[in-house]
A and B are shown apart, each in its own frame.
Chain A
Amino acid sequence: MPDIKVTPLGAGQDVGRSCILVSVGGKNIMLDCGMHMGYNDDRRFPDFSYITQNGRLTDFLDCVIISHFHLDHCGALPYMSEMVGYDGPIYMTHPTKAICPILLEDFRKITVDKKGETNFFTSQMIKDCMKKVVPLNLHQTVQVDDELEIKAYYAGHVLGAAMVLIKVGSESVVYTGDYNMTPDRHLGAAWIDKCRPDILISESTYATTIRDSKRCRERDFLKKVHETIERGGKVLIPVFALGRAQELCILLETFWERMNLKAPIYFSTGLTEKANHYYKLFITWTNQKIRKTFVQRNMFEFKHIKAFDRSYADNPGPMVVFATPGMLHAGQSLQIFKKWAGNEKNMVIMPGYCVQGTVGHKILNGQKKLEMEGRATLEVKLQVEYMSFSAHADAKGIMQLIRMAEPRNMLLVHGEAKKMEFLKDKIEQEFSISCYMPANGETTTVTTNPSVPVDISLNLLKREMALGGPLPDPKKPRTMHGTLIMKDSSLRLVSPEQALKELGLSEHQLRFTCRVHLQDPHSDSDTLSRIYSHLKSVLKGYAVQHLPDGTVMVESIVLKVSSSGEDPNLKVILLSWSYQDEELGSFLSSLLKKGLPSGL
């Protein structure tokens, strides 16, 4: 039996460093090629030596597909393609292709310039790597080679995020990347058709969460911001440059517009401006509202949101500031936090996940005194709020996607093992499909039962249709006669005559003959006519003929009567039928063996 093998090199029972190897139908595909935020050593990149110890990866991989531009999904790409060596095609959507190099360059700068690491990929490598990228459009089927085809679906999550359907023959795998089933202020919801893949590889970040209605969260967020502003306080929202930041900007921007508010909103500069530029550009990837209104006004051209300058932090009066990074572990957001932490009028809103050890994590857990560098302590008086705006599907969303795609098997990645376990149980119970959650380096094998396509000749099909009953019933399988020809790796089903003709063979007749002894005190011809009338009465729907040369024909079966030499009453009936009429022939012979009814 053919099977599909899935091996996560990263993101198996873990978040970060997404990299999944899939071999399906003899093709090897790498899904995502990310880095791990939590490590600074070799562990930060996937272990490519799993694929090959030495030599280039090109020989072992047919293609690489990147689902979206987050670094945990594309961070190791230049390393893999330029330093390890891969020359094959890399597929990603247009927005991902546009934004990905910016993030990679930023990442490179931080690691090389700030942390001073050597043996890291260079700007040129990023450029070279991006040259290998083939852009994808939504719902466009791309032929990687003659057998392998891929197709992208909208995934929500971030601009340009895509789910991919990988298909080889009749075997298929769907990889979701990160996706979001509830639309937000700037992106729509993920959607997939009923493609019924053999395996659905889904992320499961929020496997145990069912979120409250998005509206509640939005309303709470806006209310908190509004109240603080009215009090004259300052609001700090630590964000990462791309994704949630834009959503929150749009949320605040529209709110400001609706409510006619005047307090300034600032956005720390840097990456953001470039990113906003791309958001403006790829308007077709956003949600209904933005797509429909951009003719009048592009929602990403913010009216109320201005660039932030370091000195503004000390300005009096209310303001809202978006600052990077999102976990308050360094940079501008931390600086501003230090300045504002002492005033209870102010507020910090954490819109997402915080890794253990960061300031964000500490204050969320209610720590009121923070130790800073140089033994200084910082008293946290300002209000700390948590609002989950994370754009991952929750448990209900994952279930919804499964329902949409109707996969035969399920495979969970990109989540914590314990939470996955819970979801796995649920999935197996609800859909009664098997669900896997391999750890990194562990291979899951799923046997498939691919259908083998066979060309059938039209004539044969029509002939069978004509024989069939009044209603075409798609659910009932039907048997038919034909000849299967396997030639030049193609399978065809044709009628026997045609098969003979094509193969240049002549038809062999195969006839069965049998003698039946019958006690009958009549003359031969009388016996024959008695048999004739008997058969006529028994076989209503068949052509029964009495031929002048002393034979009876039932369809193609010939009956002859002769009397045996010794006993004139013992008649010998000769039956002869061809192979095709075997069924009828054997029926006749058994019928005649029973003798003729006396009534005749």
Chain B
Amino acid sequence: MNVMKNMTKRQQPHEEVPAKKLRLTKPSKSAALHIDLCKATNPTDALQYLLSFARKPVEAESVEGVVRILLEHYYKEVDNSVRLKIASLLGLLSKTPGFSPDCIVDDVISTLSNDKSNQVLAQLLDTLLVIGTQLPENTAVTQRLIEVACKHLNSTYFGVRNKCLQLLGCLGTVDKPLTKESEAGTSIAPLRDVQNLISDYFGDQDPRVRTASIKAMLQLHGRGMKLQQTAYSQACKLLNDDYEQVRSAAVQMVWVLSQLYPESIVPIPSSNEEIRLIDDSFGKICHMVSDGSWMVRVQAAKLLGSMQQVSPHFLEQTLDKKLMSDLRRKRTAHERAKELYASGEFSSGRKWADDAPKEKVDTSGVNLIDSGACGAFVHGLEDEMYEVRIAAVEALCSLAQSSPSFAEKCLDFLVDMFNDEIEEVRLQSIHALRQISTHITLREDQLDTVLAVLEDSSRDIREALHELLCYTNVSTKECIQLALLELLKNLTKYPTDRNSVWKCLKFLGARHPTLVLPSVPELLSTHPYFDTPEPDMDDPAYIAVLVLVFNAAKSCPTMPALFSDHTFRHYAYLRDSLSHLVPHLRLPGRKQTAVLGSELSEVGSGSLESAQQFLQESLVRVSTLQNLDSPGAQDLLDFTIRDLKRLGELQTELAGSADFCATYLHCQLLLMKALQEKLWNMAVPLCLKQNAMASTAAQQILEETYKLEFLYSGLETRQVATIHNVRLQAKALQLILTARTKRGSPLIGLCEKFLQEVELFQRLFMSELPHFQDSFVEKLLELMPRLVACKPLDLVKILQTTLRQSRFIHLKLPEQIHRASATIIEPTGESDNPLRFTSGLVVALDIDATLEHVQDPQTTVKVQVGVLYPDGQSHIIHPKPGDFRTPGPGRVRLITQVYLSHSAWTEPCQIEVRLLLAYSSSSSRLAAPKPAWNESTEGLPTSESSVEGTINLSKPVKVFIMPKPARR
């Protein structure tokens, strides 16, 4: 029945029937097609019919009929292009969900053996490929298809060979060689496995076939077949192919093999040495970084990043562009380099006339080309195409993460990239450096170059650099001073970086307390004998210094002794105003607060488990509530909600979970109140007030459920289902209330809609249903057949009883729940100067906000900016996708401009700016299955059940604006 209903729904839009439910008979696609094709007098017409036919959807039931018709025409048709189109249609049709294509395999294979045209053959093989991939379990079909592929492999047309190889790659049996029985019958090839067969075509005369054969191998690998090591030497040969697509595929192949057999030993040609395969392949791929085609270069550079098993000395060569020779390999890089300049072999071009030939060096050991790894990254990083450079930076980063010594070496190169001409590359290299910064300690000169970038005019770059400095280790006191100096310079040059700079200094201080200690008097400009003037408390630079000092003082108890009086006062002020930047300090002479504070903090750190336990216990306690009407249930809920809210405030780690539970319980509480006994026993006109109460409750529950679903990240399907259950309950309540107050026709529509939603629930959460015993939804689904048939009023009655009988669902908490939140950093809302502009024109307001735990701000949920004018007008602005930046995991930064406009005001007024989270229930995280090719948009129900709305994400910020009338 369900299927039938879906069918009708799909038919509705283009049959243009009224929105009532109708049973429609399917129009016979096959018949229509047949007539059309018979009408066609010449190939062009037939082709046109087929093309237009391909645009329309075909249902699973009629596919077979259509296929028959098509085949029939296929046999009659003489024109190649029409046969080709039919063949391709067969492929498309066999992809129809619900249609099992095994019945047409025989037909297609038989046509294959009869057809003469190579193009048609290729297309037919393609169709077989589609069929084969649709039926991965059917070994008999797979076996036949492989036979067919083997038979056509020696075609003279490249397309046919291509497709055959593709077939072999997609279907080739993974665990056994091509079976004997098939061989005995056909006796085409001796007994060999798919890999051997495919590798024969590595040397094909057509580059496209060569590519296809490598791709087929890769496909086999992708399907879990272990490639043989013998393919390695062949793949290496293909690295020198004339055609870029072959080289590109070969690079991949070499990489795959290097991952499979990293430790096996391969000989070095032209010498009797042997090296590990991973090293050999690393060298070869490095070599490809200087390939002629940039596509290959990008690919090679990318793959290098994942070759972490490579030996360190090979790895380090990648950064050394100088020649490699046997004598050089043994000594350390830097000294040797200098000696080598001196010996006159090669000059660096950095010093004048250092390339004057001095003495003849022994050139026999010097090897310019085969030392592939040499300078691969140096080349990659100075490549012409920025795609290659980015790939190289990424690879460098991932290699450095696994090898601290390499990280040390690549530092200089990454720092050099801070100077790239493309901002994206600069940014990427700063991020890369941040990621490896745990391994390294910056020397003073390196820090100097890094800090030079602080003057960059691009905000992204500066912030990335601040982020980098947060994680950086430095070695000396001078470095700290240098960093502070540069950051202060940055602060004066770009005052908007205030927050970012402070945060940076916070981490810098916390990381290097001992380095900060000696320079404290200097930093705070205290003097042993003289009192120095008290610095200005509002100076951002002074605050910056204090942030550094206080954070260092946290783990350095001797430091506060160096503070002067006003410093303590300033500490108290900053601790209060910038509590996220200034840690708690144990200060002498401030015993009381200190003790209190330390206790508090200890409670905070030690009690995570106990808080967790408390949370669980509260939930268990609540879950004992079976019946909503039981006495005291309401109170218990009330208390629990209160407890949870408080817990959330105290324990930031659990805030998300606690909030989530509290909100959920709140919904339950509202529901419980709304369903109280007395309300429902009274006659309708007597309880208008209660009705109103109940309907507001229902409304509120609905809103809360949307918040629950979209505001929290880390939910599992089960929780989402629970939320949907509550939502259904609220909707049922609404329906009942409507039925009680209004009488008449609209009820039918509402009931219909409600039933659709129940069905949607069933479809989305089929797997979760076992957890919903005795729940509202479960009962509804049991009653479904009755509900569909009965009249609206009966339905309402049933709903009412079900609603009251249904059990309260115990909420199971997932591992981690985070509540999405946002803070608007800019504008601050403190400014008294109104933003003046001519009315009717626009003014741009810069918005800078951080979003936390907002999942995928561009797709699933949409973050928008809402502007509310004093006259009640509100606008919603959609930021561009490019305005969202991700500085760290779970954190998103929104930097955008909002255009404001209004007609003239007489005096400045405040507008409210806030961030909103727009959701639509159709874009729920359980993504609907993708429409198949024939279910184009016209066929799909345009989710009439989707509800769109917005949730406030941040506190509103007030901005003074003043639109002035235009002067004439």
Contacts and interface: CB of A to CB of B under 8 A. Distances in A.
A173 B251 CA distance: 31
Given A218-B419, A219-B419, A212 B368 contact: no
A403 interface: yes
B458 interface: yes
B352 interface: yes
Contacts of B458: 258
A185 B421 contact: yes
Given A226-B452, A470-B154, A472-B205, A212 B384 contact: no
B244 to A, nearest CB: 10
Interface in B293-343: 321-323
A419 B357 contact: yes
A219 B449 contact: yes
Interface in B358-401: 363-364, 366-370, 375, 378, 381-386
A208 B322 CA distance: 12
Interface stretch (A86-94, A186-194, A329-337): A186-194
B463 interface: no
Contact of B457 (A226, A259, A387, A422): A259
B928 interface: no
B352 A364 contact: yes
Nearest to B423: A258
A459 interface: no
Interface stretch (A1-9, A318-326, A394-402, A541-549): A394-402
B348 interface: yes
A386 B351 contact: yes
Contact of B368 (A223, A289, A430): A430
Interface in A325-361: 350
A220 to B, nearest CB: 8
Interface string A223-265: 1001000000000000000000000000000100111100000
Interface in A266-323: 287-289
Interface in B36-60: none
B416 A183 contact: no
Contacts of B156: 465, 472
Contact of B349 (A188, A193, A388, A430): A388
A210 B321 contact: yes
A396 B368 contact: yes
Interface string B146-160: 000000001010000
A192 B242 CA distance: 12
A263 B370 CA distance: 48
A251 B369 CA distance: 32
Interface in A187-217: 188-189, 191-194, 206, 208-217
A287 B422 CA distance: 12
B352 A213 contact: no
A589 to B, nearest CB: 35
A293 B375 CA distance: 30
Most buried by A among B350, B378, B421: B421
Given A254-B421, A419-B357, A259 B456 contact: yes
B897 interface: no
A364 B353 contact: yes
A555 interface: no
B292 interface: yes
B321 A213 contact: yes
B242 A194 contact: yes
Interface in B449-478: 449, 452, 455-458
Nearest to A156: B384
A473 B205 CA distance: 7
Nearest to B364: A429
Interface residues of A, number: 63
Contacts of A128: none
B350 A388 contact: yes
Contacts, number: 140
Contact of A217 (B350, B357, B370): B350
A211 B322 CA distance: 8
A158 to B, nearest CB: 16
B357 A208 contact: yes
Contact of B378 (A213, A431, A470): A213
A404 B366 CA distance: 21
Given A425-B363, A426-B368, A212 B385 contact: no
Nearest to A431: B369
A291 B700 CA distance: 57
A480 interface: no
Given A208-B347, A396-B321, A257 B368 contact: no
A289 B421 contact: yes
A222 interface: yes
A210 B292 contact: no
Contacts of A193: 292
B292 A211 contact: no
A476 to B, nearest CB: 10
Contacts of A226: 452
B36 to A, nearest CB: 40
A365 interface: yes
A430 B382 contact: no
Most buried by A among B189, B355, B456: B355
B421 A208 contact: no
Interface in A395-432: 395-396, 399-400, 403-404, 418-419, 422, 425-426, 429-431
B61 interface: no
B349 A395 contact: no
A474 B384 contact: no
Contacts of B367: 430
A394 B386 contact: no
A183 B382 contact: yes
Nearest to A395: B346
A279 to B, nearest CB: 16
20 contacts: A189-B383, A208-B357, A209-B355, A210-B322, A211-B348, A211-B349, A216-B350, A217-B349, A260-B493, A288-B386, A386-B352, A395-B346, A396-B368, A399-B369, A403-B369, A422-B357, A430-B368, A470-B189, A471-B154, A474-B204
Given A215-B416, A220-B350, 16 more contacts: A188-B384, A189-B384, A208-B345, A208-B347, A210-B322, A210-B348, A213-B321, A213-B382, A215-B382, A259-B457, A288-B384, A289-B386, A387-B350, A394-B349, A419-B355, A426-B363
Interface of B: 154, 156, 188-189, 200, 203-205, 242, 290, 292, 321-323, 345-353, 355, 357, 363-364, 366-370, 375, 378, 381-386, 412-413, 415-417, 419-422, 449, 452, 455-458, 493
Please list the 5 inter-chain residue pairs (A to B) with the smallest Cβ-Cβ separation, ordered nearest first.
Answer: A215-B416, A388-B349, A183-B384, A386-B352, A211-B349
